[in-house]
Amino acid sequence: MKNKNLYNYILTIADNSLILAQRLGELCGHGPNLETDIALTNISLDLLGQTRSYYQYAAKISGEGKTEDDIAFLRIEREYKNCLLVEQPNTHFGYVIGRQFLFDVYHLMLMEKLQNSPDETLAAIAKKGIKEVSYHKRFSSDWVKRLGDGTEESNTKMQEAIDDLWRCTDELFFMTDAENAMVKEGIGIDVSSFKGKYYKEVSEVLKEATLTIPENKYFTKGGKEGIHTEHMGYILADLQYMQRTYPNMTW
């Protein structure tokens, strides 16, 4: 493959959307009310749409006759490059919202930069994505505030989720080799450049939600380099089930 770095760079972004969409897909029909059920499905659909655009592009540049589905379904676990944050389980609604919020703030900042990439395809996907991700962020921040500044129980639960998920935030700004290479080529985004802005914005929302900003300085990482949590294998077992069981078919 000629553009190995670009290919990997695309997956680093796209796999987040795929795995988060998959996690949200598990919830469909099980939300706390119809309105949130619909909203979360909507977010899942947006993310899936983005995933497809990225993978179609990656498939094209791979030059190996790959399809979006080959990329989505036929890699081994170590080849998925999503961050650990998006694979965290739907422990309770606080976790769903916390995960979404901590990802959305990052995601929007990334899209805002990426829309100016000289790579026209990536820029176009990002441009379209900004509208969607802005909505996601509004939804998740609103719910962080509702749950944080709701009842005592909801405050405890929201705080628990934030405390727990916090250790996955640092990885968002870890630069993989593919990212560094694409930054060098002027195409990719130096995510570490908006790390400070990220924590500032996140902290403001948490403060408004009357939540405590975690002080934990220990973080986990590995996802972006393909070393995932023990949750990932089970996600993939379901995700890949059909393609693995019935290979080489049209659906």
Which one, of 27, 52, 11, lies nearest residue 226 by Cα? 11
Choose among a second copy, other proteins, none what residue 179 binds, the Cβ cut-off being 5 to 8 Å by kind: none
Give the tokens for residue 190: 């130096």
Residues 46-65 touching other proteins, rule: CB under 8 A, are: 48-49, 51-52, 55
Choose among other proteins, a second copy, none what residue 244 binds, the Cβ cut-off being 5 to 8 Å by kind: a second copy
How far, in Å, CA of 191 to CA of 232, rounded? 24
Give the tokens for residue 162: 């934030």
Choose among other proteins, a second copy, none what residue 180 binds, the Cβ cut-off being 5 to 8 Å by kind: none
How far, in Å, CA of 153 to CA of 148, rounded? 9
222 touches a second copy (CB under 8 A):
no
How far, in Å, CA of 89 to CA of 98, rounded? 11
- Write down the least CB distance from residue 215 to other proteins, Å: 13
45 touches other proteins (CB under 8 A):
yes
Residues 55-94 touching a second copy, rule: CB under 8 A, are: 76
233 touches a second copy (CB under 8 A):
yes
> ∠ CA(38), CA(41), CA(46), 5° rounding?
125
Contacts of 216 (CB under 8 A, 6+ apart): 163, 166, 167
28 touches other proteins (CB under 8 A):
yes
Is 47 in contact with 22 (CB distance < 8 Å)? no
Binding site residues, other proteins, CB under 8 A: 22, 25-26, 28-38, 41-42, 44-45, 48-49, 51-52, 55, 68-69, 72-73, 76-78, 92-93, 145-147, 149-151, 153-154, 157, 164, 167, 216, 218, 220, 222, 227-230, 232-233, 237-239, 241-243, 246, 249-251
